[in-house]
Amino acid sequence: MERLVSSEEIGFCQNLLGHSWAKEKLKRLIIEFMAWRGPGGASDLDAKKKFLQWRSEQHPFTVIKDTRNHIRLIDDHHGFYSFYYFAEEKPFLLKVQVAIDFSKGDWTDKKMMEYLAQEQKIFIENCPSPSLADLQSIPERISDIKDAPERSIVSMLFESFDVPMKGYDFVPFIQFLFAQHLRSIGQSIPPRALTSPATLENLKESVLHSESALTFLRDHVGDKTSEIRQLQVRTFFAARLAELNEGRE
């Protein structure tokens, strides 16, 4: 079932992360827009909104309707972020594809959340058995997000390594666990808005000089990462760990 909705109607079944990846998608979106409008075409906000509606009609966003009949995005939150940035943070219309309608049938809040968690359609921080309240506590509108969560800081950290990490190297849950791990060894994670290149460099150096952090990263490469990539990533962290241990002898 497809329908047209306002961007303001969409809630989230995944926490928002990966701002840098969203901005990479934004660059691609701008290139598509320039081709869509043609030479000399309008580039005002109205034209942008028309383009976004057309773009979503070509590739509708996948959503669910929860037991309360609310529309919630379950995939491609990076893409939605890029649309939001492109629309200058103003509401816009887009086409969505309703994958599952939990508002019909005998679905209860508990059954819905168990299904979503089991199917890994959602990720809620530190919550192995998410409830409907957990789902509803995630901001309804993207404009409600003032600071990126800690995992976005970790994403920036991964990108700064000599062998840049990709999203599939460390899935969101691993990123969250690593953020917890850094806190456990006394390394605070600053809000993204306050993260300067110097702060990020200091965090990177702290990680590369921490045996426990390097061991954690070496042992927690994402399961969906290809074997070649796993070997490359693990070799990188194993080498850094060996260098660190040699320096202590």
The pLDDT tens digits of the residues spanning 197-234 come to 787 888 889 899 999 999 999 998 877 678 888 899 99
Q: CATH second-level architecture of 2-144?
A: Alpha-Beta Complex (3.90)
What is the SS3 assignment for 107? coil
The pLDDT tens digits of the residues spanning 8-67 come to 888 876 655 555 667 778 889 999 999 999 988 888 999 999 999 999 999 999 888 999
Distance CA 181, CA 65 (A): 35
Give, rounded to a whole angstrom, the gap between the first and last alpha carbons of the chain: 64
Residue 182 belongs to what H/E stretch?
Answer: helix 172-184
pTM value is 0.62
Q: Which of 35-49, 139-153, 169-183, 207-221 has the lowest mean pLDDT?
A: 139-153
Instruction: Name the residue type at position 68.
Output: R
At a CB cut-off of 8 Å and minimum separation 6, what does 26 contact? 81, 82, 85, 86
Q: What percentage of the chain carries pLDDT values higher than 90?
A: 33
Q: What's the pLDDT at 142?
A: 56
At a CB cut-off of 8 Å and minimum separation 6, what does 173 contact? 123
The residue assigned the tokens 């003032």 is 146
**Which pLDDT band holds residue 247 (cuts at 50, 70, 90)?**
confident
- Phi, psi angle pair for 177, to nearest 5°: -60, -40
For the segment 131-159, the average pLDDT, to the nearest whole number, is 64
**Which pLDDT band holds residue 140 (cuts at 50, 70, 90)?**
low
**Which pLDDT band holds residue 172 (cuts at 50, 70, 90)?**
low
- Phi, psi angle pair for 236, to nearest 5°: -60, -50
Q: Are 79 and 125 in contact (CB under 8 A)?
A: no
**CA nearest to 218, candidates 203, 197, 239:** 239
Q: What's the pLDDT at 185?
A: 76
Distance CA 13, CA 181 (A): 25
Q: Name the DSSP class of 159.
A: H
Q: How far is the CA of 90 from the CAs of 117, 145, 154, in angstroms?
A: 31, 14, 28
Output 119 or 37, whichever has higher pLDDT. Answer: 37
**CA nearest to 138, candidates 59, 70, 69, 61:** 70
Task: Give the pair of three-digit tokens for residue 169.
Answer: 């190297």
Q: What's the pLDDT at 122?
A: 61
Q: What's the pLDDT at 3?
A: 85
At a CB cut-off of 8 Å and minimum separation 6, what does 87 contact? 7, 45, 48, 49, 52
* Domain regions of the chain by residue span: 2-144, 150-248
